[in-house]
Amino acid sequence: METLITLVQIGIGAALINNFVLYYFVGICPFLGVSRRIDMAFGMGCAVTFVISIAAALSWTFTYFILRPGAPLPAWVWETVGGTSGNVDLSVLSYIMYIFVIAGSVQFVEMYVRKFFPALYKSFGVFLPLITTNCAILFACLEIMKHLQDPTRLWGLHEALTLAVGGGLGFTLAIVLMAGIREELDMCDVPKPLRGPGIALIVAGIMAMAFMGFAGVDRGIEAALSTLLK
Amino acid sequence: MLNTVTMLLAAGVLGLLAVVVACVLGWANRTFHVKVDPKVLAILEALPGANCGGCGFVGCGEYAEAVAAGGTDVTLCAPGGQSCAGQLAEIMGVAVEQTFPYRAVVHCAARTDQRLGRTDYLGEPTCVAANLVAGVQGCTYGCLGLGDCVAACPYDAIHIVDGLATVDYDKCVGCKACARACPRNIITMVPFKAERMLVVACSNKDFGPQVKAVCEVGCIGCKACSKHAEAMKMEGHLSVIDYDAYESEDQFAKALEKCPRESMIFVGKPRPEHLAAVAAEELPERIEADFKTTVDDTEWRG
């Protein structure tokens, strides 16, 4: 039960309360660039959710087994060469490793989809190269890394994946809402100096303020779930 | 000792990862290779790449695939014109008939002061919005003059002059963007068989008195032209020109003479003798844009 509540909290937290785009302001480039039409925005959101999940799974694996302080692989090497005191810490490699792994896996997935699912490739294949090393995705990896530092409270793969999927869904929600507003804006008489990026950024700011209303929702959900599951 | 091992391990991990990823991607590239028809690439090369959608496909890529698959006409690309159609025909190994460039024609000739029954319209300054409001102007067929077509044109070839959308035929490439944007559907594509073409610049399908009540120049449906020119026929109370039967403007001389209104006009490039005839008259100077002081208002794309 504890686990379920934690997972729900992580998921809701990543999707709504600490929305990647509207709370942390990462992933702004696709958020502004591809939010002109709802269908395109939805495609982009799906692509981000997909890539972020793959990236989270891979980066969790690498961090857990190789990069974190006290990881099994460096410890084994250290013992093999005869070291006794002290730990090998490879967390300095995290950034380069994440970028490398994400870019490689997205490239692989793109080729695979192009070969075996041409229709799918046509509808969202174009977005994949755009987001390979997008900051929202790197941010999810770093967030996962943050929770793999303390050996007494390590995140499992399920927690990492929940964060990633929640974050991806939150991104989709934000970009689709934004696209809906911008489609309506096309019909409006926006003052000339504000047209284009100006009004888009103002809209994004107001949306961010609206999303601040979700702050504190997690505690309520926790209370409700714990009484419900008792 | 600890530092040395850390450094060696870091280098080893990255090196190993690089080798593994390179191998996997190299293998994937070969195994998942998708064969692209060389014809598609050649056609894509020959197309202008404007992605204007004038051919009816989503972009140049889709059109290239459709042509390469066969069964699609090679002459659909308006910006590419005759030379592009020729290249496509060569690639596909088919013969190409002579095609005429299609150009946009606005079927309305009324300037603001010639349109009657106008009211002040203070809503959204777009034709789409104004078209929803009853009584903006008397004529429910005519140009609203708020410039949706101007905004839609990617070639800067249509402008609002005295409240009427006017095509600049030096710039128009016939991509149909304006025709799609117009909420009243008064812009159509006409095959330009000559430098200048005769068109009926009116879309009003009502009969005489109703037209006269709302417009000073519109077609009243008197049938005078269709009696004197075979290539003209009546659609309701509006005369239209059958461009399949259009050979030259001379066949319409009689009809033009009989027309009691000013709804048949020539569009396109004027002939030299007409230019000479008005050379003595004082014409307003053409104002060229000063790019040093004009703010670039092209849309920002992120």
Reported as a single tens digit per residue, the pLDDT across A33-52 is 888 888 888 888 888 898 89
CB-nearest to A93 from B13, B29, B297 is: B13
User: What mean pLDDT value characterizes chain A?
Assistant: 87
Q: What is the mean pLDDT of residues B8-29?
A: 91
Chain A residues within 8 A of B32 when measuring between CB atoms: 111-112, 114-116
The ipTM is 0.75
- How far A222 CA sits from the closest chain B CA (Å)? 40
pLDDT tens figures, A125-150: 667 777 776 888 999 999 999 999 88
Contacts of A141 (CB under 8 A, 6+ apart): A55, A56, A59, A94, A98, A102
pLDDT tens figures, B144-199: 888 888 888 888 888 888 888 888 888 888 888 888 888 888 898 888 877 778 88
pLDDT for residue A165 is more than 90: yes
Residue with tokens 């349109």: B115
CB-nearest to B129 from A187, A192, A197 is: A187
- Whole-angstrom distance, CA of residue A129 vs CA of residue B98: 42
Could you tell me the two tokens for B65? 């695939």
Contact B232, B226 (CB under 8 A): yes
pLDDT tens figures, B243-268: 877 777 777 777 777 787 777 777 77
- Whole-angstrom distance, CA of residue B5 vs CA of residue A74: 9
H or E element in which residue B167 lies: strand B164-167
State residue B294's pLDDT score. 52
Q: What is the mean pLDDT of residues A6-28?
A: 90
- How far B300 CA sits from the closest chain A CA (Å)? 6
- Write the DSSP assignment of A8-72 as a string of letters: HHHHHIIIIIT-TTTTS--SHHHHHHS-SSHHHHHHHHHHHHHHHHHHHHHHHHHIIIIISTT-H
β-bridge partners, B241: B232
Q: What is the mean pLDDT of residues A56-74?
A: 89
pLDDT tens figures, B223-248: 878 787 777 888 878 888 888 777 77
Residue B297 binned pLDDT confidence (cut-offs 50, 70, 90): low
Q: Which of A198-212, B48-62, B114-128, B208-222 has the lowest mean pLDDT?
A: B48-62
Contacts of B23 (CB under 8 A, 6+ apart): none
State residue A63's pLDDT score. 92
- Whole-angstrom distance, CA of residue B153 vs CA of residue A182: 21
pLDDT for residue A25 is more than 80: yes
State residue B283's pLDDT score. 62
pLDDT for residue B24 is more than 60: yes
Chain A residues within 8 A of B24 when measuring between CB atoms: 104, 108
State residue B295's pLDDT score. 53
State residue B302's pLDDT score. 46
- Interface residues of B toward A, Cβ cutoff 8 Å, are 1-2, 5-6, 9-10, 13-14, 17-18, 21, 24-25, 28-29, 31-34, 124-126, 128-129, 297, 299-302
Q: Do A97 and B125 touch (CB under 8 A)?
A: no
Angle between helices A157-185 and A135-146 (to 10 degrees): 150
Contacts of B35 (CB under 8 A, 6+ apart): none
Q: What is the mean pLDDT of residues A93-97?
A: 89
Higher pLDDT, A89 or A124: A89
pLDDT tens figures, B51-98: 777 777 777 888 888 888 877 777 788 777 778 888 888 888 777 666
- Write the DSSP assignment of A202-214 as a string of letters: HHHHHHHHHHGGG
CA-nearest residue to B1 within chain A is A83
State residue A59's pLDDT score. 92
How many Cβ atoms from other residues are within 10 Å of residue A117's Cβ?
12
